[in-house]
Amino acid sequence: METTYRVIYGDTDTGGVMYYGNYLRLFEIGRTELLRAHGLTYREIEEHEGLILPVVEAHVRYKAPARYDDLLTIETRLTEVKPHRVRFDYEVKREGRLLVQGYTVHVPVNREGRLSRFPERLLRNLESLLESGR
């Protein structure tokens, strides 16, 4: 799935390029919109399933900088679904040029903070998203 984002001045450092940590925010934007496009929201997962999905691993590879006012495309794919974890892969591009690529791994945690399994219905929903290739 593709989502666009325009770099705001507050995203940049004194060199006029996007601060490296802000790419993780772009990953979150892409991930949230991918789930939303398939009828899932973090709010629903929290409220109906009693789960949160913290990031337990993140990897970012920087290839070229984004700058103030650039219009970026965030490409997000769900690439792994297991009963105890999911992985999302990302590419951030400007006019088709790859700037950043990476991934995040998330685990379901219950309200008490303990590792949990995805409920069967949610697991099936995530697996269908994986199978759709989006």
Domains, the chain, ordered by start: 2-131 (3.10.129.10)
Q: How many CA atoms lie within 13 A of 103 on its CB side?
A: 12
Q: For position 1, what pLDDT does the model report?
A: 93
Distance between CA atoms of 45 and 134, rounded to whole angstroms? 20
User: What would the two tokens of residue 79 be?
Assistant: 């690439």
Residues belonging to the active site: 13
pLDDT at residue 133 tops 80:
no
pLDDT, tens digit (0-9, with 9 covering 90-100), for 111-123: 999 999 999 999 9
The whole-model pTM stands at 0.93
